[in-house]
Amino acid sequence: MFHKEGQKILLGSLIGFILIILLANNFVTNEIVRYSIFGACLILFILVAQFFRNPKRGGKHDEHAIVSPVDGKVVAIEEVFEPEFFNDKRLLISVFMSPINVHVTRYPVSGEIVYSKYHPGKYLVAWHPKSSELNERTTVVVKTQKFGDIMFRQIAGALARRIVNYAEKGHEAKQGRDSGFIKFGSRVDVYLPLQTDVKVKIGDKVKGAESLIAEL
């Protein structure tokens, strides 16, 4: 199953690769070169297709748990000052996504969306310490009954050139459902209350809508 954000890109890529193959078949006489072009087009299309895959997840909901919003690796767990919405200290969990990860962003909790904002910015590498402040990003805050306000932030990386955010203020967020998409690599930060019980450690691999990252 492919994400709707990739449909035009996949169709365009398929048409482009077919044209390249047809041209190679008509104008390239060397068989080795011709078959190399065929193979390269096939591999590139598979890589593009796997980037936009969207496995079905998020059927189970737990109001006492916070699940990872994305697939990737936990790269930071620390206490930080959050200046955009909370203006106080929060517990930050950062998940880095490589180009081979699923890039769908999912709601880590259920509740009411009380804040949703897009910020244009730079495209520093996602692990750069200033990327959460300077890069293109979206910030979403969900008000929950058990945890209070939970923030998660999509952050563009060096390869990402478009962040898609479906969260709208006043709408309902459902844990595990799609909340956005980041095209071609990035990271997502989750900001939690300081007393939250973290269930992951740095270096852990997590899956969006499935891996438990924290609970009460």
Q: Which residues touch 30 (CB under 8 Å, ≥6 apart)? A: none
Give, in order, the Cα–Cα distances in Å from 148 to each of 70, 71, 95, 194, 208: 21, 24, 21, 12, 21
CA-closest candidate to residue 190, choices 58, 63, 68: 68
Q: Which residues touch 27 (CB under 8 Å, ≥6 apart)? A: none
Q: Is 186 a catalytic residue?
A: yes
**Beta strand 178-183 pairing with 162-165:** antiparallel
Q: Residue 114 — φ and ψ, nearest 5°?
A: -105, -10
Catalytic residue among 94, 132, 186, 211, which?
186
Catalytic residues: 186
